[in-house]
Amino acid sequence: MSNNGNKIELPASIVVRDLAQKIERSPIDLIKKLMTNGVMATINQSVDFDTAAIVVAEYGFEAVAEVVEEEVKEETGEIPLWRQLIADEDKTQLKGRPPVVTILGHVDHGKTSLLDAIRSTEVAAGEAGGITQHIGAYQVEMKGRLITFLDTPGHAAFTQMRARGAQGADIVILVVAADDGVMPQTREAIAHAKAARVPIIVALNKIDKPNANPERVKQQLAEMELVPDDWGGSTMVVPVSAKQKKGIDDLLEGILLVADSNEIKANPNGKVLGTVIEAELDKSKGVMATLLVQNGTLQSGAVVVAGVAHGKLRAITDYKGKPVKKAGPSTPVAVMGLSDVPSAGDLFEVVPSEKEARAIVAERQDAIKAQAQSRKKLSLEDLFNQVQTGEAKELNLIVKADVQGSVDPIITELNKLGEGEIGLKVLHAETGNIGNNDVMLASASKAIIIGFNVQADVDARRMAEKEGVDIRLYEIIYRMTEDIEKALNGMLEPDFVEKILGKATVLQVFNASKFGRVAGCKVIEGELKRGAKVRLYRDSDIIYEGDLSSLRHEKDDVKEIRQGYECGVGFKNFSDIQPGDTVVCYILE
């Protein structure tokens, strides 16, 4: 920001968001001020110098023309964490730092073997002492430059870190077996990496196997919008064999090339902050945490705040277990001295004193309590309000359908809707019921889950409620597209949301003269309530959906039956009940 007293330098054209930042005012407030001056603009639209000058004058600023016109670059989507961390740093102090890499991919495609091959290559290359302890991260050297690897257990942990506000990795290595190709977990890993806006390098593993078919895999990758570089695309595909340790150097060189093109930088002398990789309570040493320094230089004795944990660092060791006095950007270290066990993905920062650390932690704990009480999910109903104030310009969706034949037409229809003012982005589309992984991805990416002819698992519904994720279930495509189109146009009426009350298993079936066929059930979760709605499942198929017409305990009519008790259940106009069926009871709110 270029301020001299009340003077402010402005370019010939400036985006409303950037103008609000320059004068340190709310974008919403600025949009209202523009409207009173007869200018209708959203947060992402540009206004000319004269308009901007009139508006800033109302806030007490005098606008002067910039000598050199700045390039106004509109950020779209999620900005990588490290760019956010260095946003306030002096640009002249920024220096290149080692890239931070994580490895994702399908189970059994060789992620662990590849990490082991990279590590053993480094030890064989003369690393003194080898690796003496596992701290969830380590560094290797290539052509005199360091690369940091995060040894995270797959894309679920990667996304969990993102859900907590962190993005530890600069680059993702996607491991795909040349003999097996793109599998469901590969697709999930791609979705998670794309949602994080992280560059992807494909390690085509197991090329030594006789049935390896690299060209088929490249075709599959191209269909997932990862077009290989040798096909004219931008995705680097490196053939490797973790077993025979072939292609490892090529992969490391590829990482450095991608790092150079992304200008990964930090200020070693700036504010000290980074991410918690993992943490645990050791009986003899106390709290042990692995920290990844992302800006500044962490020193022994520093006072650190990590999430709701704080403390003065008593000791710092590198990934080989060797004590060190300080650690610069992209360096993973194990530390001792924190008061509590922080969570993986928590951001940490160095503060001047323990008194200030305690104050920050107390404030965060209060904020967490307040957030838990007022947590609200991002729903289609909220979308239009956010667009009006300029807060949203893209709606992220996760699509789950019953069969692959349904997925493609749904995506085609959704893409048509995304051609207007607000973009639609399908982060992940797959067959099968909605599970915890889908909810976790939605939570991290602020996405809405769309289900077509599928159900959400009970655990997934609970997690969605906790994480504030909106799940929408449809049986007809046009109803789904109609809802989303209405939301984009701001016309969506309030919808009813399902709340699962409980679950029961049918043990026996009886004939009752008064009620017809009655299911003798045992409540295994929550409660059943008379007057609520029910679904009857046989295996994974829904065989009845309607009202719970009668509910009896022994010989008495009751209003509700809780977990652990047995009861008799009657369904309205339905008698095809069998032992082993599952009853799910729910209400609409």
Decide if pLDDT at 77 tops 50.
no
Contact 506, 401 (CB under 8 A): no
Domains 273-374 and 499-588 share a fold: yes
Higher pLDDT, 509 or 379: 509
Sort residue 278 into left (φ over 0), alpha (ψ -120 to 50) or beta: beta
State how far the Cα of 233 lies from the Cα of 219, in Å rounded to an integer: 12
State how far the Cα of 264 lies from the Cα of 333, in Å rounded to an integer: 20
The CATH label, of 2.40.30.10, 3.90.960.10, 2.40.40.20, 3.40.50.300, for the domain at 499-588 is: 2.40.30.10
State the CATH class of domain 380-495: alpha beta
The pLDDT assigned to 491 comes to: 46
Task: Please state the separation of Cα 116 from the chain's center in Å.
Answer: 27
Higher pLDDT, 126 or 182: 182
The CATH label, of 1.10.490, 1.10.8, 3.30.559, 1.10.10, for the domain at 3-65 is: 1.10.10
Decide if pLDDT at 422 tops 90.
no
Q: Specify the DSSP element, H or E, that contains 462.
A: helix 458-467
The pLDDT assigned to 68 comes to: 42
Contact 544, 519 (CB under 8 A): no
The pLDDT assigned to 375 comes to: 46
For residues 146-162, average pLDDT: 64
Q: What is the pLDDT of residues 464-475, one digit of tens each?
A: 888 878 888 888
- Beta-carbon contacts of 407 under 8 Å, excluding residues fewer than 6 positions away, are 399, 401, 429, 430, 431
DSSP class of residue 92 equals G
Pull the structure tokens for residue 127: 């690393």
Contact 569, 542 (CB under 8 A): no
Higher pLDDT, 21 or 516: 21
The CATH label, of 3.40.190.10, 2.40.30.10, 1.10.3720.10, 3.40.50.10860, for the domain at 273-374 is: 2.40.30.10
Q: Which residues sit opposite 174 in a β-bridge?
A: 104, 202
Decide if pLDDT at 508 tops 80.
yes
For residues 53-67, average pLDDT: 82
The pLDDT assigned to 505 comes to: 93
Q: How far apart are the first and last CA of the chain?
A: 48
Decide if pLDDT at 128 tops 70.
no
For residues 351-361, average pLDDT: 89
Q: Specify the DSSP element, H or E, that contains 289.
A: strand 286-295
The pLDDT assigned to 462 comes to: 84
pLDDT grade for 297, boundaries at 50, 70 and 90:
very high
DSSP class of residue 126 equals T
State how far the Cα of 466 lies from the Cα of 460, in Å rounded to an integer: 10
Judged on CB neighbours under 10 Å (0-12, 13-18, 19+), 475 is exposed
Contact 235, 200 (CB under 8 A): yes
The pLDDT assigned to 69 comes to: 37
| Domain boundary assignment for the chain | 3-65, 98-263, 273-374, 380-495, 499-588
Q: What is the pLDDT of residues 206-260, one digit of tens each?
A: 888 888 888 988 988 888 888 888 888 888 999 988 888 888 889 999 999 988 8
Q: In this structure, are strands 394-401 and 423-431 parallel, antiparallel, or unpaired?
A: parallel
The pLDDT assigned to 477 comes to: 75
CATH domain 98-263 topology: Rossmann fold (3.40.50)
The pLDDT assigned to 124 comes to: 37
393 backbone dihedrals φ, ψ, rounded to 5°: -135, 0
Decide if pLDDT at 145 tops 60.
yes
Q: Global pTM? A: 0.55
| DSSP reduced 3-state for 269 | coil
Decide if pLDDT at 268 tops 60.
yes
Average pLDDT, the chain: 79
Among 86, 140, 138, 401, smallest CA distance to 272 is for 86
pLDDT grade for 307, boundaries at 50, 70 and 90:
confident
Scored b (16 or more CB within 10 A) or e, 545-576 reads: eeebbbbbeeeeebebbeeebebbbbbeebee
| DSSP reduced 3-state for 274 | strand
The pLDDT assigned to 515 comes to: 65
Select the highest-mean-pLDDT range: 99-108, 113-122, 304-313, 396-405.
304-313
Portion of the chain with pLDDT greater than 90, in percent: 8
For residues 37-56, average pLDDT: 79
What is the 3-state secondary structure of 557-585? ECCEEECCCEEEEEECCCCCCCCCCEEEE
pLDDT grade for 368, boundaries at 50, 70 and 90:
low
pLDDT grade for 185, boundaries at 50, 70 and 90:
confident
Q: What is the pLDDT of residues 99-125, one digit of tens each?
A: 988 888 776 777 778 888 887 754 434
State how far the Cα of 352 lies from the Cα of 216, in Å rounded to an integer: 56
Contact 171, 198 (CB under 8 A): yes
The pLDDT assigned to 75 comes to: 38
State how far the Cα of 215 lies from the Cα of 204, in Å rounded to an integer: 11
Pull the structure tokens for residue 525: 């979760």
Sort residue 269 into left (φ over 0), alpha (ψ -120 to 50) or beta: alpha
Decide if pLDDT at 74 tops 60.
no
Pull the structure tokens for residue 269: 């002398």
Judged on CB neighbours under 10 Å (0-12, 13-18, 19+), 263 is exposed
The pLDDT assigned to 385 comes to: 59
Higher pLDDT, 445 or 521: 521
- Beta-carbon contacts of 205 under 8 Å, excluding residues fewer than 6 positions away, are 109, 110, 113, 114, 175, 176, 177, 178, 240, 241, 242
Q: What is the pLDDT of residues 535-565, one digit of tens each?
A: 888 887 888 888 887 888 888 888 888 998 9
